Amino acid sequence: MFTLGVSDHIMIAHSFADPFFGPAQRLHGATYGVELTVQTAKLGPHHVVMDIGALRNVLRQVLATLDYMNLDEHAAFPNRTSTTERLAQYLAECIAPELERLPADAAPPRPAKLSVLLRESPVAWASYELALGAARGG
């Protein structure tokens, strides 16, 4: 089992509508350290899970849709629900099709799994993991 990981970060504002979140109902923000990993059972023709630079580019493109944003106004998080868990899920679900549309020799060999981990502070983080569509063999 091989895993490749790359990291980046975003800076966003948000708040929560749900009284469950106490002071985080107020408009505040976060720097999210983002760790993206791709796991495969075997390597591709270039002896890698996929190219590190290409993976970093995919991550940056997807993160750019959130970076320097107020997530309270973002369609993906209706009713101010941009919890760290939902953010990780959103990012993973945006990244998966980007990886699936890569040319066969540049994409991670299937079957593959994807994980997005978000560090919201030095003492808290959350992640979401999904399987890449198994349609195209590795």
The residues of the shown chain that bind a second copy, judged by CB under 8 A, are 1-9, 11-14, 18, 20-24, 26-33, 43, 46-49, 51-53, 56, 67-70, 81, 83-86, 88-89, 117, 120-130
Alpha carbons 65 and 51: distance in angstroms, whole number: 22
- Residue 121: CB minimum distance to a second copy, A: 5
Min dist. Cβ of residue 97 to a second copy (A):
19
Measured from the CB atom, the residue of 97 and 121 that comes closer to a second copy is 121
For a second copy, which is the closer residue by CB, 24 or 100? 24
CB 36 within 8 A of CB 88: no
Question: At CA 40, angle to CA 133 and CA 60, rounded to 5?
Answer: 75
**Strand runs (DSSP E) across the chain, as ranges?**
2-14, 28-40, 112-121, 124-131
Between residues 123 and 135, which has the closer beta carbon with respect to a second copy?
Answer: 123
